[in-house]
Every structure is written in structure tokens, then in C-alpha cells.
Amino acid sequence: MIKKIAITIFLLSAFFSVKGQAVPGWLDVDFRREKFPENNYFTGFASGEISGGRSLQEVTQKMITDAKADLSRKIRVQITTSTQSEMTAKSVGWQYRESESFINRAETESSAEVVGIKTESYYDTRTRIIYAFAHVNRYELIGYHKGNLNMNLSQAEGLLKTAKDLESAGEKAKARQQCEAASPLLEKVRVSQDMLTAISPGISSNDLQQVRTETIHNQLTQLHAQLAQAVLVFVVNKEYLFDEQVNIVANQLKAELAKSGCSFVDNAKKADFKLTINVSTRHANTNNNFVFCIADTQVELFDNRKQKIVYSDMISQRSGDTSQEKAARRAMTDVVKKVSEKLKPWIEN
């Protein structure tokens, strides 16, 4: 009785083991065409034999990778096909733009992101051949790239608005940073648009958000060109109101130079000029309870592009007030205009 039970359990185990290793239907090309039609799916297929001392796991992973590559290749073919069709439809007068567009699309082929790929594999123990099948739903892929397109456009719009606000406030260096951050987002937008054009034939310009994209691109280009004309200055200063360290001259000088299109950065490597200011104050004389002090200001302007000092001078300013501290502060404030007038010809050139 026990022997019969054992035999029954063994046969059942063998049955379910064999059942678990059943040959999958996707091995048959007709099955794949029926269950994963081209109008709804992109698919990839690969097979290879275990050889050369490679393990089952290694070969399986290799076949899965090859199947994914086969799927991606089919998408790249569609990108190329849609590009060539678009170029053919354009007039001869756009020949240069067509060539540029084709180069961009060729780049898209290698950067095209295929998300949501599902894979399956099967090992035939009799032939020692491993098969792999990859598939992705076309409409899920379309949904992904539409979402990506909108997200990147929204982020680019936000950065552009911030850049405009910063530029209006005179923060041109920070505005540049916002523009630089927006440019890669527009590259991602272009990739999504190219992908959608390829995988969704007949997609409208509204769905591709082409007008919105062009508007952002044009405004960003114009603002970037405008900001490129700004002069970036890195300031190093040491200022002493007698024994007290202050920033009177540097702060007021920045405000004055900003009127001439200067913007100020915290990184010397990003600056067009490095401006060094050293200020010290001293008592000059007292006349009828009116105190006079002098602010001695050493100024040095280094041109990073020419890699040389273009201006260096000692500028002194004598001013008076009712106390020594007030007189010294007034002298530091009054010297700013002199320094600014000396620097402007060099910075503006």
C-alpha cells in the first residue's frame, strides 16, 4: 500500500514537472504574429546554444539581451523610415534643414528609450538551445513618451520663467544657470517627439506639442543670447573700517556695475573678470569738530580671457562727517563712484 502511494506521488510530481516545462507558444512565429500583432506590439526574438563552457544562466541572460536589442532595432528602423518619409515630403528649399533633421533622428536611434519591455525565456534540454522573447505594448510606450514629453516641457517652461525673472532682477549669472539647465530638457523633448512620430504613425502636431516646444526653444535661445552679452565678475575683497572688517565698497560697487550689465558669480572659473578690492581707512584731520578720514582702495582687475591684469590702481578718497566712524564710512561710500568710473571702460570692452 505504501509502495503504491509512493509511486502515485512520484508520477504526479513527474507530470507537473513536465507540465511546468511545457513548450511556450511564442516559440512559433505564427503564434507571435497572432498574439502580438505589429499594430499593437513591438517584439524581439533570439536563440542560442550553450557552448564554450558558458553556464545556463549566462546564455539565458545573453539571449534576453539579444531579444531586447532585436526589439529596439525594429523601433530604430521605424524612426529612420519616418524620418526619410518626412524629408521626402519637404521642398528642396529646406535641404539643409532636412540634413540637420536626419542627423538628429539618427542620434535619436541610439538614445531611444524603450521602457516596459517584458521578457520570457525557455531552455530546450534536448537540444540545449535557449530561446528568449521580448515584447512591449505600443500604446503603453506611446503613453510613456507623451507623459515624458509633457513633464520635460513643463520643467523647461518653469526654468525659463525663473531665468527671465532673474534676468529682470539683474541676476544674470543665475539666469544663465537656469537656461543651461533647461537645454538638456529640450533634448529629451526632441527624443520623445521622434519616438512618438515613429511608433505612432499619423500623430498630430498638437499631440507632439510642437508649437509649445518651438515657443520655449525660441525664447530660451533669445534669452541665452541676451545673457551671453552680460559680463560675469568674481569679486574678492578685504575692507577695514579701522579695525572692523566690512563689505561697504564691494556691495555698493556691485550695485553700480550691475547698471552696466555686470553680473556676479561665486565661482572664479565661470567669471570673465576677477576683481580684487582691498580697502583701509585712516584719520586725516579734524577741523572745527568736523572729522576727515581717508579710504585707501587698492583695485586690481584680472581678465580671465586674456589671462592678465588689465587694470591696477590705488584710489584714495577723503571725506568728512561729525565723527571718525561716520567720516570713514562716507569716504568708503564716496570712493565707489571713482572706482566704478575707472573699471567701466575695461569691463565694457
Task: Give a three-class secondary structure readout of the chain.
Answer: CHHHHHHHHHHHHHHHHHHHCCCCHHHCHHHHHHHCCCCCEEEEEEEEECCCCCCHHHHHHHHHHHHHHHHHHHHHHHHHHHHHHHHHHCCHHHHHHHHHHHHHHHHHHHHCCCCCCEEEEEEECCCCEEEEEEEEEHHHHHHHHHHHHHHHHHHHHHHHHHHHHHHHCCCHHHHHHHHHHHHHHHHHHHHHHHHHHHHCCCCCHHHHCHHHHHHHHHHHHHHHHHHHCCEEEEEEEEEEECCEEECHHHHHHHHHHHCCCEEECCCHHHCCEEEEEEEEEEEEEEECCEEEEEEEEEEEEEECCCCEEEEEEEEEEEEEECCHHHHHHHHHHHHHHHHHHHHHHHHHC
Q: What is the mean pLDDT of residues 49-75?
A: 90
Looking at residue 91, what is its pLDDT? 42
Extract the C-alpha cell encoding 31.
503564434
Domain boundaries, the chain: 22-137, 140-228, 231-348
Q: Is 3.40.140 the CATH number for 140-228? A: no
- What is the per-residue pLDDT across 18-53, written as a single tens digit (0 to 9) for each? 344 589 999 999 999 999 999 899 999 999 998 888
Please report, rounded to a whole number, the percentage of residues in the chain having pLDDT higher than 90.
56
Q: Flag the least confident range among 7-16, 213-222, 227-236, 239-248.
A: 7-16
Q: Flag the least confident range among 96-110, 143-157, 249-263, 319-333.
A: 96-110
Q: Is 3.40.50.10610 the CATH number for 231-348? A: yes
Q: What is the mean pLDDT of residues 232-252?
A: 94
Do 140-228 and 231-348 share a fold?
Answer: no
Q: Flag the least confident range among 98-112, 130-144, 323-337.
A: 98-112
The whole-chain average pLDDT of the chain stands at: 84
Q: What is the mean pLDDT of residues 184-204?
A: 87
Q: What is the mean pLDDT of residues 70-84?
A: 75
Q: Is 3.40.50.970 the CATH number for 22-137? A: no
